[in-house]
Amino acid sequence: METKNNIFQLAKKEVEYDVVSFKLSNPTSADVNVDLFDVNGAEIPNTATDADGHTHFYITGDTDYNMFVRDTFSNPKKLQRIKLFVQTDDDLNNNIQLTRRGANGFSCSNYKCPDTTIFVAQAQGKIAQVEIEDFVLDKSSFINYTIPSGSTIKWLMYYEEYKLSDMLPNHFKFNSVGVDQVFKKMTYSEKELKASEVKNEWADYMETTKWKN
């Protein structure tokens, strides 16, 4: 009964909205295909070279990437949007592959293509976004993406965070491994999420024009 009460209390809480940014950098001479936010995978470095001087793919951001990934064990994150800031138009051609592993060992993937039909009057043209529904980053999911050679792509991720500890009895609590010391969170409201949407010219026209017979 105590667990059920905690689940009920979680349902009544106002969900916290967060946004985090990461820079995916590939200084090598070949495209890099990588599984991102995979808690079962190896950590990804945050510098361009290793101890032997070899150059490799790396990730930086306003939050430590590897700590963010480990935190999904106890705090799953339901993605709502990924906004991409790129250097060339070609960098917008790569799909984002959302993958979830099932209990039977099989995986199911959904491919998302960045929306590049942005408003023509926008000052920065090399921006796209992917709207995401029903996908949660946790220990059974990851995102596959290809970073072109010599490119740096910035991801701005909008998500809702859920704490599994809120669904457990009061005497049981997960240890979040010092997450509060690492995260520099920005929050946003539903109104701000809608206001920040990159709309294409046709969609904007449809919203402001009434059809006449």
Rounded to an integer, what distance in angstroms lies between the CA atom of residue 104 and that of residue 140?
12
Q: Is the pLDDT of residue 5 over 60?
A: no
Q: pLDDT band for position 180 (50/70/90)?
A: very low
213 found inside a domain: no
Matching residue, tokens 């709207």: 131
Is 78 part of a structural domain of the chain?
yes
Task: Show the domain range for 60.
Answer: 2-208
Distances (CA, A) of 137 to 16, 38, 65, 118, 144: 16, 9, 13, 27, 12
42 in a domain, yes or no?
A: yes
pLDDT of the residue at 18: 87
Whether residue 197 contacts residue 129, with contact meaning beta carbons closer than 8 Å, is answered with yes
Tell whether 10 is covered by a domain: yes
Position 93 confidence tier, pLDDT thresholds 50, 70, 90: confident
Look up the pTM and report it: 0.70
Write the burial class of residue 12 (CB in 10 Å: 0-12 exposed, 13-18 middle, 19+ buried): exposed
pLDDT for res 103 = 80
* pLDDT higher than threshold 70 for residue 41: yes
The confidence score (pLDDT) of residue 188 equals: 63
pLDDT of res. 12: 43
User: Do the domain assignments include residue 150?
Assistant: yes
| Domain count within the chain | 1
pLDDT in tens, 102-143: 888 788 999 998 876 655 555 556 888 899 988 999 989 999
Tokens of 135: 């996908």
Share of the chain above pLDDT 90, in %: 43
Q: Is residue 81 part of a domain?
A: yes
Amino acid 165: pLDDT: 62
Is 167 within a domain?
yes
Specify the pLDDT at position 137: 93
Q: Return the minimum-mean-pLDDT range out of 65-79, 112-126, 196-210.
A: 196-210
Mean pLDDT of 154-166: 82
**Percentage of residues in the chain having pLDDT higher than 70:** 63
Query: Could you give the CA distance from residue 31 to residue 39 in angstroms, rounded to a whole number?
Result: 23
In a domain, 104, yes or no: yes
- Cα 81 to Cα 32: distance, rounded to the nearest angstrom: 23
